Chains A and B, each alone.
Chain A
Amino acid sequence: MRVEKHPVLGDLPEAKLVTITVDGRRIQAREGEVIAAALSAAGIRAFRKTPIHHKPRGLFCAIGRCTDCAMTVDGVPNVRTCVTRVREGMEIETQDGLGKWGEGK
């Protein structure tokens, strides 16, 4: 799903890779990219479950406004993954409802 070649922006520049964990699964991310980009590139589209009906939700605005992409990151719930950058060893969990402190770490 990565845009490797682009007629205006050119080739995707080389980047150092980091490893992050999503619900226990290890995936490779490009250093400095936002979590939502790494997940989308890995084909992951459901980021959280809604509080009442536990229905999956994913990326919606991608600029940090709508909070639909909130996940639990290193034990902190409600992190907006579209504006939070990956770090080596980051532990990310699908968030159920409002999430709980301490999950994922």
Chain B
Amino acid sequence: MTYQTQVAIIGAGPAGLSAALEVAKQGGKVMVFDENDRAGGQLFKQIHKFFGSGHHGAGVRGIRLGQQLLEQCIQSGVEICLSTVVFGIFPGNELGIVKDGRSHTVKADKILIAAGAGEKPLAFPGWDLPGVMGAGAAQTMVNINRVRPGNRILTIGSGNVGLVVSYQLLQAGASVAGIVEGLPKINGYAVHANKLMRQGVPVYLSHTVIEARGDGQVEEAVIAEVGPGFVPIEGTEQTLSVDTICLAVGLTPSVELPRMAELAMVHLPKMGGYIPLHDSHMRSSNPDIYVAGDVAGIEEASTAMEEGKLAGVSMAEALGLVSAQRARELAGEIEERIGELRIGSHGDARRMAKEEIVRGYEAWLAKQK
């Protein structure tokens, strides 16, 4: 059958739900689609307290923020279609969806792609052995499934994902043999790193993983110091007895649907790979398609929620649900909060990368005229 809606949102994670709520608040009809059987995206495995200030939900655990957002969406009349795969996006603002083994069509005035991101792999001899996995996978296992993926862990990458997941594996009763970082310094926040170091977890700076070894599964990891150009230094190899290697080497935006919709893209390694160009209010090169959250450049959940709201306001304005002046006011408030999330050494880099995406969009637009 064919469903009709004003706004169709792909992805019921922090960005998608935040956008849905914003449109619903303005009286718009919203349908949200997610292939998972539970809403919330990756928020429900974030059991740590978030940073930022009060209006970013700082001090509140991600899992609670997810519950609040979901409750607000349901109260506001947002229709959330779970266990529903969006397999295609077609001309004329049509989505192809599959639910319970049957395909249907969704026609929408505006579409938001908030499909999120996937973990990047890292190839080295033995990386395909069972026991080598994404750090996010280990996090899902302990915090959602309540099963340890292994008992003795080595984490590759000291960004916030590597640090937070390592700590959460400790909380789940695993031991962490170490954190390996190619750079000469810890890449994530000191507050996360310090919690691990207080527990005696060694951090191997200027090191890399050389090999995973084992008979049918990981039994040990070989690491070595790296010199200039991240080249391993011969003679510095050491073998650690571990059963699990968690890869925390970054995320890459899930851009299958943006590609299918032929959105103009830009390659920005800092933001995780190919990103759909978008204007400062999240509209892509197709005026009826918007993007928000990790699919619009890898950041974190707080920013994803704000970007979702921005896309929501932007779509509500385009649909005539809210006046241009009110939309400007709302967007201004959101942009101020996003600005607060993009400060500091990491935040500055993200802010500059986002500005590059918007500049790329403007250059693309100028060429169309």
Contact = CB atoms under 8 A, between A and B. Distances in A.
A60 B145 contact: no
Given A3-B173, A7-B171, A64-B35, A59 B145 contact: no
A97 interface: no
A9 B130 contact: no
Interface string B159-180: 0000000000001110000000
Interface in B133-155: 133-134, 136-138, 140-143, 145-149, 151
Chain B interface residue number, banded: 35 or more
A33 B144 CA distance: 10
B143 A9 contact: yes
A61 interface: yes
B310 to A, nearest CB: 25
A105 B59 CA distance: 50
Contacts of B61: 8
Contacts of B134: 60-62
Contact of B137 (A5, A47, A56, A62): A62
Contacts of B36: 63-64, 83
A47 B130 contact: yes
B88 interface: no
A58 B131 contact: yes
B10 to A, nearest CB: 15
A65 B252 CA distance: 12
A46 interface: yes
B334 interface: no
A8 B169 CA distance: 12
A100 interface: no
Which range contains the number of A residues in contact with the other chain? Answer: 20 to 34
Nearest to B83: A83
B130 A58 contact: yes
B119 A61 contact: yes
Contacts of A46: 130, 216-217
Interface string B102-142: 00000000000000001101000000111111101110111
Interface of B: 35-37, 42, 47, 61, 118-119, 121, 128-134, 136-138, 140-143, 145-149, 151, 171-173, 216-217, 254
26 contacts: A1-B147, A3-B147, A3-B172, A5-B173, A7-B171, A8-B61, A9-B143, A9-B146, A34-B145, A36-B145, A45-B130, A45-B131, A45-B217, A46-B216, A50-B128, A57-B128, A57-B130, A59-B133, A60-B121, A61-B134, A62-B136, A62-B141, A63-B137, A65-B118, A83-B36, A85-B37
Lowest 5 A-B CB distances belong to which pairs?
A: A58-B130, A62-B137, A37-B145, A45-B130, A62-B140
